[in-house]
């Protein structure tokens, strides 16, 4: 775009439709390339997709549902890799007060709930906080989060941008699914637990 400004002279600083289209296409091509590199490097992706209309619980002392679903899928991934595999949690750095709230919620989840204690056998419950602009892998996670938000990565997901179709398919190719017996769903038979979870309601008791 800078080059386009230079070629048209210093007085012309309006962006044309063709330049915007070219920029958008370049960004999509870059994301495709990043996801292709991830696939070749055997990177696996998991994620919680929250419905935009869902109210966010305020002041709750329990771990939010999207985090609980994320840790569940991380735990299953680690089980699939190796029986003794351990995993670290890395977060993009938040405001300090928000970080402390999240730490307290995680502590309560991994210590006070049975599922949390079970999963602490594989997930180290003390997370790292890093600056995303200084960590390329966290930047990749940010890109993935955007695609999960706007791309058709699950059959039931709505509010999708059609131009992200190919990018979304590349994200799906990275998804880490698992098969487990879930007694509440179908006792005695394994169910597919998709690596991407669509959460319609963050409040306790919602799906």
Interval 148-181: pLDDT, tens? 888 888 776 666 888 888 999 999 999 999 998 8
What are the phi and psi torsion angles at 47 (to 5°)?
A: -170, 155
**DSSP letter (8 states) at residue 124:** -
Tell me whether residue 157 is in a domain. Answer: yes
The total number of structural domains in the chain stands at 1
Query: Which residues have C-beta within 8 Å of that of residue 67, sequence separation ≥ 6?
Result: 48, 102, 105, 106, 109
48 in a structural domain: yes
Residue 159 domain boundaries: 44-199
Quick one: tokens of 40?
């070749």
Is residue 20 assigned to a domain?
Answer: no
Tell me the H-state helices in the chain: 2-8, 17-40, 65-81, 96-112, 114-119, 136-150, 165-174
Average pLDDT for 202-207: 60
Query: What's this model's pTM, rounded to 2 decimal places?
Result: 0.81
Q: Has residue 104 been placed in a domain?
A: yes
Residue 16 lies in a domain: no
């Amino acid at each position: 775009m800078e080059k386009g400004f230079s070629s048209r002279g210093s007085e012309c600083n309006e962006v044309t439709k063709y330049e915007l289209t070219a920029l958008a296409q370049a960004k999509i091509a870059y994301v495709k390339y990043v996801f292709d590199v991830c696939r070749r490097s055997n990177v696996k992706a998991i994620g919680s997709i929250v419905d935009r209309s869902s109210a966010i619980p305020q002041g709750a002392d329990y771990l939010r549902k999207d985090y609980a679903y994320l840790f569940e899928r991380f735990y299953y991934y680690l089980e699939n890799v190796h029986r003794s595999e351990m995993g670290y949690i890395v977060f993009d750095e938040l405001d300090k007060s928000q970080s402390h709230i999240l730490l307290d919620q995680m502590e309560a989840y991994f210590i006070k709930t049975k599922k949390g204690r079970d999963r602490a056998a594989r997930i180290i419950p003390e997370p790292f906080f890093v600056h995303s602009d200084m960590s390329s892998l966290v930047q990749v996670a940010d890109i993935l989060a955007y695609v999960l938000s706007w791309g058709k990565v699950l059959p039931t997901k709505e509010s999708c941008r059609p131009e992200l179709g190919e990018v979304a398919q590349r994200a799906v190719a990275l998804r880490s699914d698992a098969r487990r017996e879930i007694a509440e769903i179908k006792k005695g038979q394994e169910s597919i637990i998709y690596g991407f979870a669509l959460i319609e309601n963050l409040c306790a008791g919602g799906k």
